[in-house]
Amino acid sequence: MTGTIVPIGVGTAVLHAKQASAGAPLNPFVAPGNTNPPIIFEPSAGLTGGATEVWIIASGGADWGGCQVWISTDGNTYGLAGTIYRGGRQGVLTATLPAAADPDTAHTLAVDLSQSRGPLLSGTQADADAYVTLCYCDGELLSYETAALTATYKYSLTYLRRGAYGTAIGTHASGAAFARFGPNDPSLFRYFYPASFVGTTVYVKLPAFNTFGQALQSLAATAAHSYTLLGTGGQSLDVIAALASGVAQDWGLVATGVVALADLAPVAAAAGYDIILGLLN
């Protein structure tokens, strides 16, 4: 008897039909898109512990995975200062926020976080009072209690604690920059600089990479953002900003006898002026 030996599986039908593709294959080299115009600011000493720091909040589009941070003092020669691996909760105001006394229970802060697709969560009144829900709003730092979703990536924030950490309370127009952040937020980039750099204009470039960590943009093709270092984080107290803006401050109790009295009425001081309250022996 003769026959043909055929290996198992050869020439036989497959058990399962080929599955249809769920869509286009993933492209690990997809272009990340540009980094959104960043928020660059210097917090007061209450947040830096007296160090001179500049903080950067950045974000990008759907394929944006982060960015490098390059800094220059002349706009030509750049040095790598670090990397942002996670986008911030960044957006803009969608309505004017008037100046108001703190706490502000009369106004609503309306924001749109579409550019970063960031979420906002509500807190408690105690959270707002303790600045747990801290936000940057056009230079003023504030916190909120309730974040009500009004549309996709759009929120209304109420019970506002204004002028946090001695920042000036002001009126902020629709379209002004907004971000939700915290001192320990992993999306926040903190850059320490020497006090000798105060008054220097620095230039920042943020070349992006995609969500796979690939397709890094070239430094030459990346737009530069300028910022003049103020040194506000190196002040021992937020005296200048607080007194110049008329924001009430409570610096606690002095554990020594009173040797003099002073009437610290509201004052108007030009930017950069020092207000010296004397020395505590």
Residues near 143 by Cβ (< 8 Å), separated by ≥ 6? 123, 127, 128, 129, 130, 131, 132, 133, 134, 135, 160, 161, 164
Instruction: Report d(CA 87, CA 63) in Å as an integer.
Output: 11
Q: What is the CATH number of the domain that holds 84?
A: 2.60.40.10
Residue 108 and residue 191 in one domain: no
Span 83-93, mean pLDDT?
95
Which pLDDT score is estimated for 170? 95
Give yes or no for a contact between 106 and 76, defined as CB atoms under 8 angstroms apart. no
Does the residue 229 lie in any domain? yes
Residue 81 and residue 117 in one domain: no
Residue 66 and residue 140 in one domain: no
- Chain Cα centroid distance, residue 267: 30
Does the residue 249 lie in any domain? no
Domain that holds residue 39: 30-88+183-236
Does the residue 270 lie in any domain? no
| 3 state DSSP class of 240 | helix
- Chain Cα centroid distance, residue 79: 22
Please count the structural domains in the chain.
2
Does the residue 156 lie in any domain? yes
Residue 111 and residue 152 in one domain: yes
pLDDT in tens, 245-255: 444 444 444 44
Q: Which residue type occupies 259?
A: V
Domain termination residue (choose one: 180, 195, 221): 180
Please indicate whether residue 259 or residue 145 has the higher confidence score (pLDDT): 145
Which pLDDT score is estimated for 223? 95
Instruction: Report d(CA 186, CA 181) in Å as an integer.
Output: 9
Residues near 259 by Cβ (< 8 Å), separated by ≥ 6? none
Residue 84 and residue 196 in one domain: yes
Residue 129 and residue 202 in one domain: no
Which pLDDT score is estimated for 275? 55
Does the residue 245 lie in any domain? no
Which pLDDT score is estimated for 120? 95
pLDDT in tens, 184-241: 888 899 999 999 999 999 999 999 999 999 999 999 999 999 999 998 876 544 455 4
Residue 176 and residue 94 in one domain: yes
Q: Which residue type occupies 26?
A: L
Residue tagged 């394929």 (tokens):
63
Does the residue 11 lie in any domain? no
Residue 138 and residue 65 in one domain: no
What value does the CA radius of gyration of the chain take, rounded to a whole number of Å? 26
pTM: 0.75
Residue 105 and residue 219 in one domain: no
Tell me the two tokens of residue 129.
């009072």
Residue 38 and residue 149 in one domain: no
Does the residue 1 lie in any domain? no
Domain termination residue (choose one: 180, 199, 214): 180
pLDDT in tens, 111-127: 999 999 999 999 999 99
Q: Bridge partners of 148? A: 156
Please indicate whether residue 42 or residue 269 has the higher confidence score (pLDDT): 42
Which pLDDT score is estimated for 182? 86
pLDDT in tens, 157-184: 999 999 999 899 999 999 999 999 988 8
Residue 49 and residue 165 in one domain: no
Span 94-115, mean pLDDT?
97
Does the residue 6 lie in any domain? no
Instruction: Report d(CA 38, CA 69) in Å as an integer.
Output: 11
Residue 174 and residue 68 in one domain: no
Q: Which long-range contacts (CB under 8 A, 24 or more apart) does 252-256 make?
A: 254/280, 256/280, 256/281
Give yes or no for a contact between 87 and 187, defined as CB atoms under 8 angstroms apart. yes
